[in-house]
């Protein structure tokens, strides 16, 4: 085992809790069963890591095996690192017929043709997600396996989820995805989160949703906690309405666990009559960031409990409606002479 393989293996093993180490190595299937049964996973982490590395060296395992272990670890633990979404656009006529073998061939052929030193691994997961691991090199350096890019794509959907992609490699990956999926272009999705699961649930609509309806009482009876009879009689109509609005905006059940939503402001100070207070000045720029361990659940609770007034502002409901958590709010007033409008 060379130094590169040892470094990658050591990094993966340091990330895995001792209690999960055995299960991960079993899925890897590169070490004999009798050796795995003899491993004492209660040993100190440093000692355990060195012992497993020694077993790998005894079995002549190399970089190919180690990178496969890293992929298994990431597939089993998708909610780590930072992920951002991209959307494929303008599909060609035969885009719906693309299958896994064809995708692999086209994707690898394109990247191998434009990057001299590169390592590509593609693995299909049980949920039909295609996991891609890319270690980038260049004309003078071998692939850097300590900083690989990961991309996840479900065939016949328009979304790709990417982690750890350097700006200089973005054009190569974008072109390879366009060729392999038979799309004409790919655009930024303006959705970033630490949880790949939340990102997929939100964009692929894998969470309970409620659409506008006049049937408020059904939602109330099914989901709301019991109230004191007197309070229920006095406020039931208002509470039903708030609950309906919250469910329509953020769903009735567990919502995808996004941590942040960012709103970039490009506005001007205004006085009475919507007149700007400084017509000739530049935009006032700022950033508003909402943070929570489960942001959509927090918004749902605020609306349903009456902490936030309804109806839900489109700035918040757009998170689920558009599948984004980054927005730019621009000034919609008259543009001063000599200045261009900043709108997105």
Output the average pLDDT for the chain. Answer: 86
| Average pLDDT of the residues in 270-288 | 66
3-state secondary structure of 291: strand
Residue 231 in this model has a pLDDT that exceeds 70: no
Q: Which residue has the tokens 């974008």?
A: 174
In this structure, are residues 299 and 251 in contact, taking their beta carbons and an 8 Å threshold? Answer: no
Supply the pLDDT for residue 221.
46
State the first-to-last Cα distance of the chain, in angstroms, to the nearest integer: 52
Tell me the average pLDDT across 267-294: 73
Q: Are the C-beta atoms of 173 and 158 separated by less than 8 Å?
A: no
d(CA 171, CA 115): 11
Structure token digits, residue 170? 């973005």
261 phi and psi angles, rounded to 5 deg: -140, 130
β-pairing, 326-330 vs 159-163, is unpaired
CA–CA dist 162, 322 (Å, integer): 19
As a whole number of angstroms, the distance between CA 329 and CA 86 comes to 21
Q: How far apart are CA 196 and CA 273, in angstroms?
A: 45
> Mean pLDDT over residues 38-58, rounded?
93
Rounded Cα distance between 319 and 315, Å, is 8
Task: Name the more confident of 321 and 337.
Answer: 321
pLDDT interval class at 233 (50, 70, 90) = low
Phi, psi of 101 (to 5 degrees): -60, -45
> Residue 151 carries which DSSP code?
E
User: Does the pLDDT value for residue 284 go beyond 90?
Assistant: no
Per-residue pLDDT, averaged over 164-187, amounts to 96
Residue 296 has pLDDT above 90, yes or no: yes
pLDDT tens for each residue of 104-138: 999 999 999 999 999 999 999 888 899 999 999 98
The predicted-structure confidence for 61-114, as pLDDT tens digits, reads as follows 999 999 999 999 999 999 988 999 999 999 999 999 999 999 999 999 999 999
Looking at residue 216, its pLDDT comes to 46
157 preceded by a cis bond (ω within 30 of 0): no
Q: What is the DSSP string of 309-333?
A: PSSPPHHHHHHHHHT-SEEEEE--S
237 pLDDT more than 80 = no
Structure-token match 């896994």, residue found: 100
Task: Please state whether beta strands 129-136 and 118-124 pair in parallel, antiparallel, or not at all (unpaired).
Answer: antiparallel
């Amino acid at each position: 085992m060379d130094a590169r393989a040892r470094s990658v293996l050591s990094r993966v093993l340091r990330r895995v809790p001792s209690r999960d180490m055995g299960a991960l190595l079993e899925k890897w299937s590169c070490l004999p069963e009798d050796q795995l049964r003899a491993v004492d996973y209660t040993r100190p982490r440093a000692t355990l890591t060195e012992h497993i590395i020694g077993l790998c060296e005894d079995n002549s395992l190399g970089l190919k095996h180690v990178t496969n272990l890293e992929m298994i670890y990431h597939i089993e633990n998708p909610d780590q690192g930072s992920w951002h979404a991209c959307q494929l656009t303008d599909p060609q006529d035969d885009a719906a017929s693309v299958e896994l073998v064809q995708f692999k061939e086209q994707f690898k052929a394109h990247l191998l043709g434009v990057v001299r030193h590169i390592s590509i691994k593609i693995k299909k997961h049980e949920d039909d997600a295609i996991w891609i691991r890319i270690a980038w090199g260049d004309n003078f350096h071998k692939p850097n396996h300590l900083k690989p890019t990961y991309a996840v794509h479900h065939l016949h959907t328009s979304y790709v989820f990417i982690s750890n992609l350097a700006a200089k490699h973005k054009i190569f990956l974008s072109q390879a995805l366009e060729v392999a999926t038979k799309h004409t272009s790919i655009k930024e999705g303006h959705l970033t989160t630490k949880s790949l699961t939340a990102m997929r649930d939100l964009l692929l609509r894998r969470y309970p949703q409620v659409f506008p309806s006049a049937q408020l009482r059904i939602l109330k009876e099914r989901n709301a906690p019991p109230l004191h009879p007197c309070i229920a009689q006095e406020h039931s109509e208002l509470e039903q309405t708030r609950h309906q609005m919250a469910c329509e905006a953020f769903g009735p059940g567990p919502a995808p666990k996004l941590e942040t939503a960012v709103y970039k402001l490009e506005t001007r100070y205004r006085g009475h009559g919507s007149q700007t207070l400084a017509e000739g000045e530049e935009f006032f720029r700022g950033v508003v960031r909402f943070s929570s361990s489960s942001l959509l659940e927090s918004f749902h609770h605020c609306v349903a409990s009456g902490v936030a007034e309804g109806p839900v502002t489109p700035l918040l409901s757009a998170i689920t409606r558009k599948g984004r958590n980054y927005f730019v709010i621009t000034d919609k007033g008259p543009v001063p002479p000599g200045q261009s409008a900043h709108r997105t």
